[in-house]
Amino acid sequence: MADNNLMLDIRDLTIHYETDSGVVHAVEGLNLQLGRGESLGFVGETGAGKTTTALGIMRLIPNPPGKIKSGQILFDGEDLLKKSEAEMRRIRGAKIAMIFQDPMTSLNPVMTVDKQIAEMIRLHRNVSEHEALKQAGDMLELVGIRRERMHDYPHQFSGGMKQRVVIAIALACDPELLIADEPTTALDVTIQAQVLELMKKLKQQFSASMILITHDLGIVADICDKVAIMYAGRVVEYGDKRSLYANPLHPYTIGLFRSVPDIDEDVDELPVIPGLMPDPMDLPTGCAFHPRCSMAEECCSRERPEMKELEPGHFVACPVRARMLGQA
Amino acid sequence: MDNNKPYIKVENLKKYFSTKRGLLHAVDDVSFEIKRGETLGLVGESGCGKSTLGRCLIRLLDSTSGKVLLQNPEGEGYTDVTKVSAREMKELRKRVQIVFQDPYSCLNPRLSVWELIAEPLIVNSIYDDKAAMRKRIRELMDTVGLAERLENSYPHELDGGRRQRIGIARSLALNPEFIVLDEPVSALDVCIQAQVLNLLNSLQKEFNYTYVFISHNLSVVRHVSDRIAVMYLGQIVELSEYKELFANPLHPYTQALLSAIPVAKLDVQRERIILEGDVPSPIEPPDACRFAGRCRYAQEVCHHGTPPLTEFAPGHFVACHFAGKLD
């Protein structure tokens, strides 16, 4: 990857929540790169640290108890962690925008939707109220809401429509990076299909990069180019979607793929990963997955695995698999 | 027991709620049958009435009209669940049970695991003997895979999967025959989801339970069901054996629903049918095909009268005037 093409480069990011009962290791030494115009699917189970990573990029980790302990988040070559709060405020919304999971709670219930979009535009651009409201109307049309409805309140819209409004707000200032945190989880499948279709279209139109956080491997297959699989605060596998879906290498990824019921095949019993996600206050030593892993060896409990490129552009943090593929 | 007779017969079941703006047709004239030991999947989007239907089946809600006929224990005749007295219903509840969607809100946070599982046994005064009850609770915890050391834990100490296991143990406590599973895995992560699905499956094999499995997740429903009913705005629009439904969906809504499932595979060629608009209001719906307004095949006839659920192919029912004639 050529450096000028690199939009986001996260290096060794560690985020902890320091609570009374102990330290929650939400994100542990995370490395991640995202190229310009790429879309990355960020997959993992509840508590894997996906949302914390996203909030970290936005510098929105609730503090206290959250704390970014170490690492760098290079956005266009500049470290976001070194920015002042005022500088961050200029970046949020204008350069990096975020869509949250629940459209019902991320909109202001006592403000008409056009004003909510215009608010965003006026924060970052020097335009008149009138002009901002006009642009808000344009944005609504872009996401498939008729202009007549721009003076409506959020409760007058259905869930899918509300999420469209949220997308309109996020894209209003033409951001370079869009972070979507489970944007369709609260929606029904047919409405989800509508919203995903819209996001695909807009992503091309705006040529923005995107990080899509989800637990649904199906959605990633649909709209992402790259995939990162996260487990207990770390990325365990990262690669091009084609390579990763055709040939998942990390034992956790393999287990994750298998535990989803197949829409075309009959199986009597679903293969399961034994055990539960580890307690983030008390992560296992070495590879966090080793207590549940069928391939684990003695070294797995001792050393934290390094990411290795086992196939071109396909990185895996598992020494056992690396050896199997003859690349130890 | 005669296995050819259906175990449950639902006839013209309706459930209307009165609202300020008129009658809400949550379940509107639904009829189907379930065999003993079978799993009927009930799919549809939020607000289609699948949970209301599930609750009417075991009379957690009183239905407006229609019948829910449950086969008597000896296989002789049927009891109409909607008509029995409160006292009879209490007896009947031992045979029909429900597992709720949200394992976070359906358990009393102030009861321990042991007390939670003991509750149905105590309420129904099953055991006089404490030791026998203790043994039964151990057995139930074993069945659903809860370790003995969790006996004195409280729900907040446990993860979603374990909580759902408590819900399942509670519903199994009285040796039911019929269990309504209302989105039992929707709140769970895929790995835990797989564990719970496997558990439900093995329990059914062991005890010959009859399930109604309500879910909006079509891949999950396909995995667990023998037959699947697709609901839209209070009505069943298609009902068929699961493989047939996925291979050959006849109703335009089912087609759109199936095409919208995100599949975790590359290079699957699926034509995605994107539906326009949202589900219309279930309050005082017009006497027409409920789906007509969003249907790309809708003709004049669709706006006059509700198409009946008819058997298009053996065992494959569909409510569409143009079933099999869609292109």
CB contact under 8 A, A190 and B218: no
CB contact under 8 A, A158 and B278: yes
Q: Please, is A128 exposed, middle or buried when counting C-beta atoms within 10 Å of its C-beta (0-12, 13-18, 19+)? A: exposed
What are the φ/ψ torsions at residue A181 (nearest 5 degrees)? -100, 100
Q: Are A295 and A320 in contact (CB under 8 A)?
A: yes
CATH of domain B8-95+176-318: 3.40.50.300
pLDDT number for residue A2: 46
The alpha carbon of residue B198 is apart from the nearest alpha carbon of chain A, in Å, by 6
Q: Are A262 and A58 in contact (CB under 8 A)?
A: no
Query: Cα–chain-centroid distance for residue B144?
Result: 20
User: Quick one: CATH architecture of A93-212?
Assistant: 3-Layer(aba) Sandwich (3.40)
Domain boundaries, chain A: 93-212
What are the φ/ψ torsions at residue A162 (nearest 5 degrees)? -60, -40
d(CA A270, CA B130): 38
Q: Mean pLDDT over residues A212-220, rounded?
A: 91
pLDDT number for residue B327: 67
Position B50 pLDDT exceeds 80:
yes
What are the φ/ψ torsions at residue A99 (nearest 5 degrees)? -110, 125
Q: Mean pLDDT over residues B85-112, rounded?
A: 90
Position A115 pLDDT exceeds 90:
yes
Over residues B127-162, the pLDDT tens digits come to 988 999 999 999 999 888 888 888 899 998 888 888
Contacts A268 to B, Cβ<8 Å: 201
d(CA B2, CA A17): 61
CB contact under 8 A, A261 and B219: yes
Q: What is the ipTM of this complex?
A: 0.82
Q: Which long-range contacts (CB under 8 A, 24 or more apart) does A135-142 make?
A: A135/A172, A136/A168, A136/A172, A139/A168, A139/A169, A139/A171, A139/A172, A140/A113, A140/A114, A140/A164, A140/A165, A140/A168, A142/A168, A142/A171, A142/A202
CB contact under 8 A, A196 and B262: yes
d(CA A126, CA A175): 16
Work out whether the CA dihedral B254, B259, B263, B268 comes out positive or negative. positive
Over residues A143-185, the pLDDT tens digits come to 888 898 999 999 998 888 899 999 999 999 989 999 999 888 8
Over residues B267-316, the pLDDT tens digits come to 776 778 888 877 888 888 888 999 998 999 999 999 999 999 999 999 99
pTM for this one? 0.87
CB contact under 8 A, A188 and B274: no
Locate the chain A residue with the closest alpha carbon to B265: A221
Minimal Cβ distance to A197: which of B256, B266, B274: B274
Position B1 pLDDT exceeds 50:
no
pLDDT number for residue A43: 93
CB contact under 8 A, A263 and B278: no
pLDDT number for residue B122: 93
CB contact under 8 A, A245 and B278: no
Q: What letter does residue B145 receive in the DSSP assignment?
A: T
The token pair at A189 is 């499948």
The alpha carbon of residue A47 is apart from the nearest alpha carbon of chain B, in Å, by 10
Contacts B264 to A, Cβ<8 Å: 216-218, 220-221, 245, 257, 260
